[in-house]
Structure 1
Amino acid sequence: MDDLSALVLNCTLKKSPAESSSELLASQVLQALERHGVTGTVERVVDHDVRFGVSVDEGDGDAWPTLRRAMLDAEILVVVTPIWLGQPSAVCKMVLERLDAELSETDDQGRMLTYGKVAGIGVVGNEDGAHHVTAELCQALNDVGFSLPASASTYWVGEAMHKEDYKDKQPTPEETAGTTRTMAAHLAHLARLLRDAQYPAAE
């Protein structure tokens, strides 16, 4: 069963080694995927010199091509983001902008290179907004060719106007742990189905 790989992009604003609730959730997602024969890595995007832009390579030392190669080599992509002002982080939005380039990257049958790959979403924050952020990412990831299974997201949000962080919750709330397990199982299941039955080329 050790036949799938995943890339988890942590879109925290904090560079390593700063503690990050998004990093905790990202690592938990990867651990859950490992139970289904998926190997992979968590990459904190701000630790890489990713440039703003909408091409596959912005040049001048842009680190996105390396992350993009890891994404294309994997069957599963998970994007994890904190909520800021009810929105995905600026880092997450930059990642989505870079993924926009996939719209024009196709194989010899005219299919986007992301076809047949699946995506999941993780969200953490101290305010309501998880459904809004998830909706934005679902639409964007689907637009650029990824397939999303049922229950393709997991999240935790704290009580409004309080300062409690997900990383400080011990043990992890079972509601979040349960949705993480479900998402991981569905991601692995759909990835295997699509690997063995790729989307047809458009007629």
Structure 2
Amino acid sequence: MTVLQSVGYPTTMTSALAIVCTLKPTPAESSSELIARQTLDALSEHGVGGEIVRAVDHDIRPSVERDMGDGDQWPVILDKVLAADILLISTPTWLGHPSSVTQRVLERLDAEISETDDAGRPSSLGKVGMVAVVGNEDGAHKIIADVFGGLTDIGFTIPAQGSTY
């Protein structure tokens, strides 16, 4: 038994959800999806299973609420986020910024800031946030910082070097 296990911390993650924020709907090829798959492949070497959701293929309404009613497909994606141990946001770089789809996903995740479990803990407590960016280095560093900032506000834990570009 490890020290972490002895004090009740899990020492392995079991599942990851990659939300790919490309502007291209399926079946178009996407570099953002490719880097997400490569990241999930690397995580699988450590026993982590993964799933990819291409956000643009879903009706994600503009909002900072959990559910915008009939037709809003965010609640299905949110259930997957809450069930996963790791959330990977994968985005292209456009003019030095993440895609508009990435911003939409972060806005919808914003609803989780006020959500807690039965013990009053944030709903994303214990979940790890990661970022994968396709694009130039300067833009990638800024995007990683911006997305990590949002994920920490929501309650995700950000690991050292938890990004790739």
TM-score for both structures, normalised by structure 1: 0.74
Identity of aligned residues (%): 56
The residue type paired with residue 127 of structure 2 is K
Partner of 2:3 in structure 1? none
Partner of 2:7 in structure 1? none
Output aligned runs, 1:80-99, within 5 Å: 80-99=90-109
Output aligned runs, 1:176-187, within 5 Å: none
Whole-Å separation in 1 of the counterparts to 2:16 and 2:136: 27
Please, which of 18, 28, 38 is the counterpart of residue 28 of structure 2?
18
Moved over 3 A (4+): none
Q: Which runs of 5+ in 1 are unaligned?
A: 156-203
Q: Which runs of 5+ in 2 are unaligned?
A: 1-10
Output aligned runs, 1:8-157, within 5 Å: 8-126=18-136, 128-155=138-165
Counterparts in 2 of 1:139 and 1:3: CA distance versus 1, 3 Å: closer
Contact kept in structure 2, 1:12 and 1:89, CA below 8 Å: yes
How far off its partner does 1:127 sit? 6.7
| Aligned-residue CA RMSD (Å) | 1.5
Mark the structure with the bigger radius of gyration.
1
Whole-Å separation in 1 of the counterparts to 2:136 and 2:88: 21
Contact kept in structure 2, 1:119 and 1:146, CA below 8 Å: yes
Q: Report how many residues are paired.
A: 155
How far off its partner does 1:3 sit? 6.1
Contact kept in structure 2, 1:26 and 1:80, CA below 8 Å: yes
| Per-residue Cα deviation, 1:50-77 (whole angstroms, up to 9, x for no partner) | 1110001011210100000011111010
TM-score for both structures, normalised by structure 2: 0.90
